[in-house]
């Protein structure tokens, strides 16, 4: 999963969601929590590293782009 997220560099990612963290099934090593935190860290890093252009500043000659 982390390799897939790392391959998304350059895309405009503006939101993400991590689901199915199951602490009830976690062991003493808290592997579920550690895996989820690594995924969240990679997603946040991806969102911070990707520059976002404000609306109206693209190639459309001042027109808002969606």
Q: How far apart are CA 9 and CA 4, in angstroms?
A: 10
Sorted by where each begins, the domain ranges of the chain are 2-49
The pLDDT tens digits for 4-52 are: 988 888 888 888 888 877 777 788 878 888 888 899 999 998 888 756 6
The pLDDT value given to residue 6: 86
DSSP state of 24: G
Nearest one of 24, 18, 20, 22 to 38, comparing CA atoms: 18
Nearest one of 27, 5, 8, 29 to 18, comparing CA atoms: 5
Nearest one of 17, 33, 13, 16 to 25, comparing CA atoms: 33
Whole-model pTM: value is 0.64
The pLDDT value given to residue 40: 92
56, 64 contact by CB (below 8 A): yes
């Amino acid at each position: 999963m982390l390799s897939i997220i790392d391959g998304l560099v350059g895309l405009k990612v503006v939101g993400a969601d991590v689901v199915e963290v199951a602490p009830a099934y976690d062991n003493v090593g808290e592997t579920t929590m550690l895996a989820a935190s690594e995924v969240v860290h990679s997603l946040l890093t991806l969102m911070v590293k990707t520059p976002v252009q404000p609306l109206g500043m693209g190639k459309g000659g001042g027109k808002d782009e969606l």
